[in-house]
Amino acid sequence: MSETKYIAVVDDHTLFRKGLCALIDMFPGYKVLFDAADGEDFKAKLKPPHIPDIVLMDISMPRMDGYDTTSWLRVNHPEVRVLALSTMESDAAILKMIRNGARGYLLKDVEPSELKLAFQEVISKGYFYNDVMTRKVMQSLPVIVNDKSSPAKFLKLTPRETEFLKHVCSEKTYSQIAEEMSLSERTIDGYRETLFRKLDISSRIGLVLYAIKNKIVEL
């Protein structure tokens, strides 16, 4: 790698954060620009034009958490690639971080080799999906990353399917979506299964990624 890529680490656990910084500084081609204890600390230490290429972002933090900090970055510095770093493996946490602008999701027990791979792929491809994400969205990736096929598939959606897809991108349960659309839960299940087939997607996270990619929802 000819050009050094700069990393920022945001995590409220000092020992973990400092250890991670020391590890990253051992990776050829990468250097820690700074570390921060939470979102407010991160914003205070962010000094343009010295902007990190990648931010490793914890989720649960005091004052300003990873969700809000990632969302702030998406608006103010969209060129920065956020990799979520957490102990949480829930669909809800992954969904919310993706909606807020994260490009990938890593668990804190990640191996150094996988962390380095995440850096490489988020720089070269714009995203990184490890085993956690792969189990949930890998079957949807051909739709998400293939610009040629996505618009064609998008044109096949009916207005009600599009409306349903927008609701899917919220934090509502399927039961709440059914109530809001004045439909039965069985009908909502039918919409979901139909979209899975049409878009070659197998999870709710995949539907959200598709909607974001095709600008069906504005983040």
Are 206 and 109 in a shared domain? no
Provide the terminal-to-terminal Cα distance of the chain, rounded to the nearest Å: 33
Residue 7: Cβ-neighbour burial (10 angstroms; 0-12, 13-18, 19+) = buried
Which of these, 210, 201, 204, 194, lies nearest to 158 by C-alpha position?
A: 194
Q: Is there a domain that residue 145 lies in?
A: yes
Are 124 and 169 in a shared domain? no
Q: Which of 105, 129, 153 is the last residue of a domain?
A: 129
Q: Which helix (H) or strand (E) holds 54?
A: strand 54-58
Question: What pLDDT score was predicted for residue 208?
Answer: 84
Q: Is there a domain that residue 218 lies in?
A: no
**CATH code for the domain in which residue 205 is found:** 1.10.10.10
Are 153 and 80 in a shared domain? no
**Domains in the chain: how many in total?**
2
Buried b / exposed e across 117-130, counting CB within 10 Å, b at 16+? ebbbbbbeeebbbb
**CATH code for the domain in which residue 96 is found:** 3.40.50.2300
Model confidence over 117-151: pLDDT tens digits? 999 989 988 888 765 555 555 444 444 444 444 44
Question: What pLDDT score was predicted for residue 153?
Answer: 46
Q: Which residue has the higher pLDDT, 156 or 143?
A: 156
Model confidence over 69-127: pLDDT tens digits? 999 999 999 999 999 988 866 667 777 888 788 988 888 888 999 999 999 989 988 88
Confidence band of 219 (pLDDT split at 50, 70, 90): low
Q: Which of 100, 129, 158 is the last residue of a domain?
A: 129
Q: Is there a domain that residue 148 lies in?
A: yes
Contacts of 121 (CB under 8 A, 6+ apart): 104, 127, 128
Q: Identify whether the C-beta of residue 191 lies closer than 8 Å to the C-beta of residue 184.
A: no
